[in-house]
Structure 1
C-alpha cells in the first residue's frame, strides 16, 4: 500500500506537469492518462501513469514520442460506439493556440494504418477556453467495421506558437458491420520531425495553414476480416 506521503507527492507532480501542458482527449480516455474517467493502474503500475498526456508528440525539429505514445493502456473497460453514432468527445484544453487543424482517424491494427473519418480545418479548438473541458462531436462512419480493438485518434496542428503536432489515442470498441472495409485518406502528420511536412505559424505566414499538405493526403482503404464476436464490453489487454 502506498503511503499518504507518496500519494501526495505523485499528485503534486501531476499538477506541476499538467500546468505546463496543452491539449488531449479526456473522453474517450487516452492511453495511460490520469483522468478520473480512465482505467486505473494496478498497484505495481503507478509509475506507468502518463501525467503529461496533454503535451505535443513532436515539433518540426524533433520527434519526442510515437503517434500513439504508448503501445497499450491499463486494463479496464473500453467505451462502445456503434457505427453511425455521433460521439461527444471531450478535450482537456490548457492552451488553445488560437485553434488549428484537427483530424480524427481510426486504426484497426494498433496504429499501423489509419483512415481519417473527420476533419476540422483552421478553427479547431479556437473557441475552447483555456483551462476547460471542451466537447467536439465526432461521427463514427455508418459502414465502420466491427472490432473490439480499435483506436480513435485525434491529431492537431496548432495555429500559433511552436510548430507542434498533438495526437491522442483512445482504445474503443466499434459495433458495426462484421467484416468489411473503410475508405478515406491517410492522416497528415505535419510538424513531426524534420522530414515531415511543415505547416507555418498562421499569423506570420499570410494565412498559410497547410492546405496544400492536407489536400495531398493519400487515399486509403482499411479492410477488416469478420470478427469472432465477444461480449459488448471487453477488458483492455
Structure 2
C-alpha cells in the first residue's frame, strides 16, 4: 500500500541517483571539486548539475569569488604549443551532445575557444579529450580553463566546470595575447539569455574556432538571440576543418596520463590520438530535474530524429509537454508473490525480432503514462501523447518485456520492483 514515508524514501533515492550519476570534469579538477586538492572543506557535491536556467551562476557555477584565494591555486601548469587533455566522468550523458574547451585570462569575463567537440561529447563513463594549447596562449598564473557541454537529449541545459591553471607563453607576449584574444567566444545558451539549443540534435557551434573534432552529422545550430562569437577562427592554429582523429577515448576508470597525483603534480603532455575511436554508447538518460525513470519528451515543430531507431515523420502540431509524473514504489519479495504481469497493448511498432516491441519515438500513443519494456534491457514511456526515446535500464537491472501500466523491474539476486503512478495505488 502506498504510504507517504515510502514515497519520500523513494524520492530521496531518486534524487541521490540523479545527482550522483551525471557528468563532470575531473581533470583538471574544477574549483570546489572533491577532486581539487586545494578545495578544503568547501566542496560542491552538485558538480554534475547544470547551470541555473536563469543564468544566476554563470559562469563556472558561481565559483569565481574564490579567485585570489588559496582555494583557487592552479592545479596544473601548461605550456603553449603542448598537448594536454581533459577528463569527463559520470553516467547520465543525455545521449552526448557537443562540448567546448576554453580559456579565460580576464577573470571569467570572456572564455576563448581552444577546441570544439561536435557530437558524441561526452560518452557515458570516463573519457578523455585531447587538445593542443594554442601557440599564442599568453602567460598567466591564474587562467581559467573551462569545459562546457550542451546535452543532446533532455531539458535544454548548459553544463560548465572551471579549473584554475597556470600557463607559459612563448615568443612575443604582446603579439600572442592580442592573437589569442581574437579567438571566438564560447557559445552561451539555455541560461535565460534568449539563446537555446535544439533538443534531439548535437549543437553546431556558430564559430567553433580553428580546432574542431566532429563525431556526428546530426547537428543543429542554436536558435534565438545568440549574438555573434567574437573574432574569427583564431590566431596560431591552422586548418579549421573538423579533426576526425581526436574522438573521445572512453576510459576504464584509470586516470589519464595527465591526471594529477594526490600531491597535485602537473601532468605529462600527451600525444593526440592518431586512430579515431568512436564514443562509448552510454545510456540515454533523463534530465536531472525529473525523477529517475521518467522521461518527458519535449515536442517541437520538427520532431527530432532519434539515433537508435528510425524516426517518425514530422508530426506537425505536437501536443504540449505533460507535467512530470510522480512515481511511487511497491516492493514484493521474489518467490513469495507473483510479479504483476504487463497488460499487452497493441502498438504501432509491434513486429518480430529483438526489438519487436519498440514504439517509434514521437509516434502517437493513447494510454498516457504506460511503460514499454523492450527486450528486458530498454524502456520507453507514453508521455504527452507521444512515445519517448528508448532508455537503457540501470546496470544490474532488467524489466519485464511488454507494454503495461507498471514498469516491473528485476535486480539480479534481489527483489522484484514495480514502479507505478500513485493514481494506480489504493
The residue number in structure 1 matching 2:91 is 94
Unaligned segments of structure 2, at least 5 residues: 1-14, 202-217, 235-264, 267-426
Q: Deviations over 1:171-190 (max 9, x none)?
A: 00111134432021111111
SS of the aligned residue for 1:160 comes to: coil
1:219 aligns with 2:227: no
**Residues in 2 aligned to 1:185 and 1:144: alpha-carbon distance in whole angstroms:** 14
The residue number in structure 2 matching 1:184 is 183
Considering Cα pairs closer than 8 Å and 6+ residues apart, tell me whether 1 or 2 has the greater RCO: 1
SS of the aligned residue for 1:78 comes to: coil
SS of the aligned residue for 1:136 comes to: strand
Residue 105 of structure 1 deviates from its aligned partner by: 1.2
The residue number in structure 1 matching 2:128 is 135
1:19-98 alignment runs, 5 A limit: 19-35=19-35, 38-42=36-40, 46=41, 48-59=42-53, 62-69=54-61, 70-71=63-64, 72=66, 74=71, 76-98=73-95
CA RMSD, 1 decimal: 3.2
1:135-154 alignment runs, 5 A limit: 135-154=128-147
The residue number in structure 2 matching 1:210 is 221
What is the aligned length? 196
Q: Deviations over 1:158-203 (max 9, x none)?
A: 100110000110100111134432021111111111x331112026
**Residues in 2 aligned to 1:33 and 1:16: alpha-carbon distance in whole angstroms:** 18
Change (3 A) 1:75 1:110: closer
Q: Deviations over 1:54-93 (max 9, x none)?
A: 110133xx33522112012615552011111211211122
Q: Deviations over 1:110-138 (max 9, x none)?
A: 1012211111113221xx23xx2211112
Conserved in 2, the CA contact under 8 Å of 1:186 and 1:220?
no
Change (3 A) 1:144 1:197: same
SS of the aligned residue for 2:138 comes to: coil
SS of the aligned residue for 1:185 comes to: coil
TM-score, normalising length from structure 2? 0.42
Change (3 A) 1:188 1:147: same
SS of the aligned residue for 1:170 comes to: strand
Change (3 A) 1:83 1:197: same
**Residues in 1 aligned to 2:74 and 2:129: alpha-carbon distance in whole angstroms:** 22
Conserved in 1, the CA contact under 8 Å of 2:23 and 2:91?
yes
SS of the aligned residue for 1:171 comes to: strand
Conserved in 2, the CA contact under 8 Å of 1:189 and 1:196?
no
